[in-house]
Structure 1
């Protein structure tokens, strides 16, 4: 952990160097800076020290957008469901003045961060989906996140379908997959995954044939 923290300090210092140089060259007000990451690390949470999981330690990554004089200073959005892998591309297109095609599955995040969005609002989004292919085993999985729940489904594994109540269990320690009180939520999240797969044409992962049988 000590070494990881030092790496974070190094990244922070180099971001400062970059921004100072942009300022010195008179480019800072013409530059949109987006800071994000492809994944986090387990740090022994869930007895895991790497990525390749859908736990928060691995998938909850920063998505910071800064444009001097244009974005909302110090604003932290804890309500919007975002997916950096999908949303960063249409957001960059928007800032670059390039039309956003309907074939993209992400959302333009600019209206949520601009100080003056000219009346634009972020579109409503009830869930986001992420995908994974585990490097050594090739095991594929999909994750659905809503405001209060996280659901994931893998092709294989002992506990390949999991549902967590993020409001009551933010540490994701007690899955409620087989709790009868959560049956409705389980089925709803299965439906969201089916809907998403159909919408984007996910030919690598058909969830319909992978749902474990339900028992009363």
Structure 2
């Protein structure tokens, strides 16, 4: 006769053995739910992709800004170098203008009619002064210095300095009727304004106003 206690113990041992065997069974990959794993993997990949794209965009923006800044610096440096080359002699040119003025005054002070009766040596002196003035103006032009002699032109405050106004009907108001001292520009920059007299419209007579 089988003891009930032994039978019960055998059942317990069989159950433990079964559970033990189940623990050692190979994992069936087909039974794993891959949808959750794939979903997490995709979401993680998308996040990484977005971060990388943002970093690339930021780096590209920084690169473009740096390139633009370098180009601006290059342009400023080029402009400064050009200005230095153009206007390096501005101070010297301004000082030497007085020589040109004195040569012009010397020639204007000579009465041409009286000059005909002067000696040959005096005529040669006049020609020498004229030649010196022409040579000086030629040197000015060589270095981008141009003379402003605006007789008959419209008054321009950027290049002219009005010394007086004269009422006249012969010229339109604002027209330069006399150049007292020539002006000069170096390249496109004013070196010295021309001193001029400007035409002014005459005032109407009181009798005309009454009529």
**Same fold per superposition (TM over 0.5):** no
TM, length-normalised to structure 1: 0.16
TM, length-normalised to structure 2: 0.17
Could you say which structure has the greater relative contact order, defined with CA pairs below 8 angstroms and 6 or more residues apart? Answer: 2
Query: More helix by proportion, 1 or 2?
Result: 2
Structure label with greater radius of gyration: 2
